[in-house]
Amino acid sequence: MMRFRFTQTAIDTIEARRELLDLGAGGYVSFEGWVRDHNEGQEVTRLEYEAFQELAVKEGERIVADALRRFPVKHALCIHRIGSLALSDMAVWVGVSSAHRGEAFDACRFIIDEVKHRVPIWKKEHYRSGDSGWVNCERCAAPPGHTHGHGHGHDHELEHHDEPAASHS
C-alpha cells in the first residue's frame, strides 16, 4: 500500500526506485514533472502546491490500483511534492516496473494523466510581474467580458485542459 504519497521535501528517486525492484521485471519507466519557468505567456518564478491530503491519497491509491489492473506490470508508485517549489524542482515522480517495456510506458502515462485530472491537488503560480494565480481556477472564475491586469490571451475553458501546468506536461 501507500503507492501514492506526498512529501514536503525533495523526492528521493533512488529510494523510490528501490520499491519497484522485482526479479521478474526487465526494466522500469519513470516520469518526473519539473517546475517550468513559463506558462501561457507568463514568466513563472516559483510554485506552491497544496493538497486535500486525506482524499488525495485515497484517490491516488485508486489510480495506481487501476493501472495495476489495466496493465500487466509488476509495481507502480507515485510521489507528489507539496509546499513551495523553485524552478526545476521535481513536483511529481511516477515509476513503473514490468517484465517488458511497453506496458511500463503505458501504465506510467496512465498514472500521471489520471493524477493530473483527478487528485485534489492545487498549484499556485507566482509570476515575475508580481501577480499570482491558481492554475485552472482563476480563468474560469472570471466573469464573461472581464479584463485582466495581466495581458495573456486565453479561452474560457473550465478545467482539465492539457497544456496548463507550469510544470512539465
List of residues contacting another protein (CB under 8 A) = 33, 49-52, 54-55, 58-59, 80, 91-92, 112, 115-124, 134-138, 140-142, 158-160, 164-165, 167-169
Residue closer to another protein (CB basis): 105 or 134: 134
Least distance (Å) between residue 99 CB and another protein: 27
Query: Minimum distance between the CB of residue 18 and another protein, rounded to whole angstroms?
Result: 23
Cβ atoms of 47 and 85 within 8 Å: the answer is yes
Residue (2 or 55) nearer to another protein, CB: 55
Q: Given the complex with another protein, which of 60 and 106 has the nearer CB atom? A: 60
Q: How far are the Cα atoms of 37, 105, 136 from residue 88, in angstroms, in the given order?
A: 8, 23, 21
CA distance linking residue 133 with residue 25, whole number of Å: 42
Give the C-alpha separation, 53 to 119, whole Å: 9
Please say which residue, 6 or 105, places its beta carbon nearer to another protein. 6
Could you say which DSSP state residue 143 is in? P
Q: Cell 518564478 appears where?
A: 45
